[in-house]
Amino acid sequence: MTTLTTETLAVPGQQQYEDVFPLVINLLTGGSTMDDVSAWLESTRAEHIEAAARHGAVLFRGFPVADANDFDRFIRGFGLDSFTYEESLSNAVRVNRTELVFTANEAPPDVSIYLHHEMAQTPLFPSHLFFCCERAPDVAGETPICRSDVLLDKLAEADPQFVDDCTRLGVRYSNTMPAEDDPESGQGRSWRSTLGADTREAAEARLDKLGYSREWLDDGSLRATTPVLPAVRTLVDGRRVFFNQLIAAFRGWKDARNDPQKAIRFGDDSPIPAEGMQRAIELADELSFDLAWQAGDVALIDNFLVMHGRRPYEGKRTVLASLVADDGSRLAA
Ligand code: FE2
């Protein structure tokens, strides 16, 4: 067994708040195996989780992670409970590669996936995400990440009324799910898969239990509207975050079934002003760090503190993902 040595690395575009964002941990030891990595994680995992809560994101570079099985082992080294795709209400079409690991999003290369907190448009969301680059694309395909606490502070300065309305009223999301998976869309997951339901009755029962309202459309698709969800949340350390799916819904919930204009409303059913959204988008774009993937990279993202997306790309890109179940310890009551 080889004991691993690491260093923290400065990378172009890295941001500096109270802590750097993201933190990059580079492996110095050559010739190490996944057994060595597992042993190293066992003794260091608590500090990585703690670092993610402070920095927002930790990138592990230079580790011997070659494929989905290695990534699966890497994640298991953290000893966290996983949040499975089956139980999630994610709208993205994904393919499982191992029990814990799935492809990040099957949407076509030219589709942008805009900044969001994973599954913040549903009442069930993971606390962390792991990403792993199995194959870096020829051109672009970065994962933009953005500190949501910093964004909220800047947005509150630029448009206090908008942030106040978001905080007071919350938000409802509407999404139309097809009867069958539509891989051409960034949110093309069928209602059967999303809701784990074989029949309309089972789909309705699941939605009722979650407090959604619903409408069946003539083509067999299902339009579902969430209960009122918070658009701003407070973490136990006092930081406030723009924890929602507003930017992604406003910019990107557009396909054969969905119109972004109809995707989001405040909790009292009043419209969300486009100017406020535009300001949020501009600030988030300015604050984004583009994670330029190298094969073997693993990133640990704190889902409460950091939004993520995907830039369009050319060539083949395989970024794998895995989600961690929320243990309820991060959100203030
Ligand atoms: Fe995502």
**pLDDT tens digit string along 41-62?**
999 999 999 999 999 999 999 9
User: What kind of fold does domain 149-284 have according to CATH?
Assistant: Double-stranded beta-helix (3.60.130)
The torsion of the CA quartet 291, 279, 156, 328, rounded to 10 degrees, works out to: -50
Cα–ligand 1 centroid distance for 5 (angstroms)? 31
For the cut 90, the answer to whether the pLDDT of residue 184 exceeds it is no
Cα–ligand 1 centroid distance for 129 (angstroms)? 9
Domain boundaries defined on the chain: 6-138+290-324, 149-284
For the cut 90, the answer to whether the pLDDT of residue 241 exceeds it is yes
Cα–ligand 1 centroid distance for 139 (angstroms)? 21
Cα–ligand 1 centroid distance for 292 (angstroms)? 16
Residue type, 47: E
* Model pLDDT, residue 72: 97
For the cut 80, the answer to whether the pLDDT of residue 91 exceeds it is no
Cα–ligand 1 centroid distance for 310 (angstroms)? 8
Provide the token pair at 181.
Answer: 């998976």
Q: Distance between CA atoms of 58 and 24, rounded to whole angstroms?
A: 6
State pLDDT tens for residues 312-325: 999 999 999 999 99
Cα–ligand 1 centroid distance for 4 (angstroms)? 31
Cα–ligand 1 centroid distance for 2 (angstroms)? 35
Cα–ligand 1 centroid distance for 245 (angstroms)? 10
Cα–ligand 1 centroid distance for 164 (angstroms)? 26
pTM (2 d.p.) = 0.93
Q: Distance between CA atoms of 232 and 163, rounded to whole angstroms?
A: 8
For the cut 90, the answer to whether the pLDDT of residue 254 exceeds it is no
Cα–ligand 1 centroid distance for 308 (angstroms)? 6
Cα–ligand 1 centroid distance for 155 (angstroms)? 22
Question: In terms of CATH architecture, what is 6-138+290-324?
Answer: 4-Layer Sandwich (3.60)
> Which residues of 178-330 form beta strands (DSSP E)?
213-216, 222-225, 233-234, 240-241, 264-266, 289-291, 298-302, 306-310, 313-314, 318-325
For the cut 80, the answer to whether the pLDDT of residue 143 exceeds it is yes
Q: What percent of the chain has pLDDT over 90?
A: 81
* Model pLDDT, residue 262: 81
Radius of gyration of the chain (CA): 20
Cα–ligand 1 centroid distance for 29 (angstroms)? 32
User: In whole angstroms, how far apart are CA 90 and each of 124, 253, 314?
Assistant: 9, 13, 25
The edge-to-edge listing of strands for the beta sheet with 264-266 is 213-216, 222-225, 171-177, 264-266
CB 53 within 8 Å of CB 305: yes
* Model pLDDT, residue 7: 97
* Model pLDDT, residue 253: 72
Identical fold for domains 6-138+290-324 and 149-284, yes or no, is yes
